[in-house]
Structure 1
């Protein structure tokens, strides 16, 4: 048996009630005892495991590079009806409690005092891929303030579109944007986030993110996952 952990199955996120969340995470930990191999989408999830870490492989989710790739920003804005002169910060609301919409809005208001041309665009991450790619190409910066993440796809998709990222240190974001400029991982404070937004979004330029995620195509990641399953099939029962 191969188990894959993506985030909420191990992270302390109690969206549906505290008891249910605790039981779910306990069952996840117990299931590891029967697994031949375990896949975690980020190293921080591996660190949450109680045992069996010698059977863990870290493989982030892949992205569709045929959809998520750089396009002309102004043309994307024309299709969305967005003004070309604004500096637009994109924020995926999802569950506002987990994504910390309150922190994002507070930091944005602070940044806007310095850069009145900043505009916060709230989106639901459950967009069709083509529209999400359009949004990412039209914006000037992606903002992430979540309390917990695994390996957020929207960050990788943003990088594939050369969209700069400002994020708190959550999930595997720091690893994903290492060497990407302009982009920043900052402390979880209004001031630090605001300063990074002014710096990064205020530039109004694209980053070099596409090169950083070139190896994360769905086909390449699928091959890595298949290799784990093939390896699991060679494990004898006594080894699990």
Structure 2
């Protein structure tokens, strides 16, 4: 099977893992990335222009005449390009902000024309007026696994006696709502006697993230909307407690996981972080992460490809 992948960010770690998993399953793929730059640097956001997306269109149409079996549009803004070629069936994967954000109407219109649609959560599926497959991005359980907390803190140079709250995103990413996370941690400090350190992670290789997950006491997610946040699944795989806003599939992922909770207000977020820090224990999230392993979700995505081609 040969797949032409369209993507806005080829460097996205979950997309790289998806490609590697499907390659292991026998899929040959070629990836085309939208021209231009989309990055978060030094507190600012660089976004692609409409011209960048127009430049992408002839590239996609031209490559669609190659020896491919289908086009997989990864992220809603690549869907118009996938649908512009008329030779190959189209699988459309939606990641969250493409459906829930300002480009939602474009995404929904394109989803009605795709042969199959993949979404990250039941909540996203409910927002579409067509059948779709719920397949969240998978987590690498070989990379993200528990390790001794003291060893992880020593490696990072973190204070062994402090409580550590992890916010694993660049502060510049508006949808993640860093100011709200800061506000929550400030209120947590007011309620606890010891030191509470607040850590953001920017520019670190993905391979280093398990060290941060194991060094921290709790992961705090304050996003305004999400599909299926990978940081939550990676934290579960490391048995790191998670306190999160009610977004995407987080309620399903955290259901029954110790020292973790979903919150709908600042007060509930503060209560959740305080409770996790006072407990002073790891979660039991590893078992919950196994159902969204990269191997499991890759096999399900391959089944969607096979369904389209049948």
Q: TM-score, normalised by structure 2?
A: 0.68
- Pairing 1:9–2:88 present: no
Give the Cα–Cα distance (whole angstroms) in 1 for the partners of residues 217 and 162 of structure 2.
Answer: 9
Match of 1:97 among 174, 187, 190: 174
**Backbone CA RMSD of aligned residues:** 1.4
- Structure 1 CA distance, aligned partners of 2:239 and 2:137? 18
Offset of residue 96 of structure 1 = 4.1
Asked if the contact 2:120/2:248 (under 8 Å) is kept, the reply is no
Secondary structure of the residue that 1:34 maps to in structure 2? Answer: coil
* Alignment length (residue pairs): 219
Alignment of 1:161-180 (within 5 A): 161-180=238-257
Matches within 5 A, 1:32-181: 32-49=111-128, 51-52=129-130, 54=131, 56-94=132-170, 95-115=172-192, 116-124=194-202, 127-181=204-258
TM-score by length of 1: 0.87
How big is the shift at 1:186?
1.3
4+ runs deviating over 3 angstroms = 93-96
Tell me the alpha carbon deviations over residues 128-179 of structure 1, each in whole angstroms, 9 at most, x when there is no partner: 2221110001000000111011100000000000000011111111100101
Matched, 1:231 2:310: no
In structure 1, stretches of 5+ residues that fail to align are 13-20, 235-240
**Residue-by-residue CA offset, 1:22-45 (whole Å, 9 max, x unaligned):** xx4332112122212110011111
* Separation of aligned partners in 2, 1:227 and 1:96: 34
Tell which structure's C-alpha radius of gyration is larger.
2
Q: Distance in 1 between matches of 2:158 and 2:264?
A: 30
SS at match of 1:133: helix
